Amino acid sequence: MKWKKFRVKTVTEAEDIIISTLYDLGLEGAQIEDSVPLTAWEKEQMFVDIMPDAPADDGIAYLTFFVEEDEEGRLMVNGQEKKEEEILQEVREELDSLRVFCDIGEGSISVDETEDIDWINNWKQYFKQFTIDDILVIPSWEQVAPEDQGKMILHIDPGTAFGTGMHETTQLCIRQLKKYVTPQTELLDVGTGSGILSIIALMLGARHAVGTDLDPCAVPAVEENKEANHIAPEKFDMMIGNIIDDREVQEAVGYEAYDIVVANILAGVLVPLTPVVVNHLKPGGIYITSGILDVKEQEVRQAVEAAGLKVLEVTRQGEWVSITAQKL
């Protein structure tokens, strides 16, 4: 399938009004490109672990609108056939009308043609091999260099599930797992995603891991990463469901069964999760949390202590915090 790509050069302050105005023309689903830094709220909500380096904010924004082109080259907007020049003229007229009462910057328009975009795989251009202390994390499509053969090597391909190890929160959890995993460790990984934390724990010598997640995409991602890292199927079990309020999941996971529970999620989930998860920890068990922006540290710490856990350590990387606690 081919698409006509209409790209408007504007300023960040005018993004919303231009998107709204062109929506009325039938141009929907705008792709926004700008260099505005993410707010703390956006960082927490997105929780993106592969983020390309961005230049300093220059106030410039590009808004891209895609119009489907059929096999005969016809462009369809709101169910009506329109010619490229007709769409361009309508967009120019709307932009000119906006100039009267607001600054839209250059307001220029370019047109290009594109094939279907592989959104699922495009992120791979940003994911390259890297190290977390002495652990080499390498995607499935790259080769291990001869000089790295002696390192602990994690082969990872997150697929459509979250988790590459690049995000600060994941690295914080990995460093805590290195401190507490033993050959007897039974691990519960809440929000396992691609399975990276469970796989690292097993590579560090843990006996067994159980992962839970809400996203069904986690299942094939975990299976692929288990195979890539030669994890025996019986060493890592996976289930889909919400452990916070699903009694069947809670019972399937098991009570007072785990030496370590790790949860790399978000502060807003950790608060209701903690009083539930404490029931799955053995006495003396370790609770490792992350996904906590520094502004939410006290909120999560209070939830941890209210659940009867003793805070052992708070570690930080960038704006993110990890709280490690113990069940007394």
For residue range 59-68, list pLDDT tens digits in order: 899 998 888 8
- Tens of pLDDT, residues 261-279: 999 998 889 999 999 999 9
Q: Please tell me whether the overall predicted TM-score, pTM, comes out greater than 0.75 for this model.
A: no
Which stretches of the chain are DSSP H helices?
15-23, 40-46, 84-99, 119-122, 168-180, 196-203, 218-228, 247-253, 267-277, 297-306
DSSP letter for 265, please. S
Round to whole Å and give the CA distance between 266 and 49: 13
Residue 46: exposed, middle, or buried by beta-carbon count in 10 A (0-12, 13-18, 19+)? exposed
Residue 10 · residue 105 · CB < 8 Å: yes
* Nearest one of 178, 196, 169 to 317, comparing CA atoms: 169
Q: Is 294 a residue whose pLDDT tops 80? A: yes
pLDDT at 194: 87
Contacting residues for 222 by C-beta, under 8 A, at least 6 apart: 161, 192, 194, 195, 198, 211, 236, 238
pLDDT at 121: 58
Round to whole Å and give the CA distance between 84 and 91: 11
CA dihedral (25, 27, 28, 34) in degrees, to 10, reads: -120
pLDDT at 16: 87
Across residues 116-137, what is the average pLDDT? 70
Q: What is the CA radius of gyration of the chain?
A: 24
| 212 labeled binding residue | no
Q: Which of helix, strand or coil describes residue 208?
A: strand
Within 10 angstroms of residue 309's Cβ, the number of other Cβ atoms is: 25
Bridge partner list, 327: 309
Round to whole Å and give the CA distance between 88 and 241: 48
- Tens of pLDDT, residues 12-25: 889 889 988 888 88
Residue 194 · residue 161 · CB < 8 Å: yes
pLDDT at 46: 44
Q: Which of helix, strand or coil describes residue 214?
A: coil
Residue 143: exposed, middle, or buried by beta-carbon count in 10 A (0-12, 13-18, 19+)? exposed
| 49 labeled binding residue | no
* Nearest one of 195, 121, 185, 126 to 154, comparing CA atoms: 195
| 170 labeled binding residue | yes
Q: Which of helix, strand or coil describes residue 203?
A: helix
Crossing angle of the two packed helices 84-99 and 15-23, in degrees rounded to 10: 130
- Tens of pLDDT, residues 69-122: 777 778 878 778 888 999 999 999 999 999 988 999 999 999 987 765 554 555
Compute the half-sphere exposure of residue 108: CA atoms within 13 Å on the CB side of its CA. Answer: 4
Which H/E stretch holds residue 254?
none
Kindly report the length of the chain: 328
Q: Which of 44-48, 56-60, 220-224 has the lowest mean pLDDT?
A: 44-48
Across residues 307-312, what is the average pLDDT? 98
| 241 labeled binding residue | no
Query: Would you place residue 221 in the very low, low, confident or very high pLDDT band (cuts 50, 70, 90)?
Result: confident
Query: Would you place residue 139 in the very low, low, confident or very high pLDDT band (cuts 50, 70, 90)?
Result: confident
Antiparallel, parallel or unpaired: β 135-139 and 75-77: unpaired
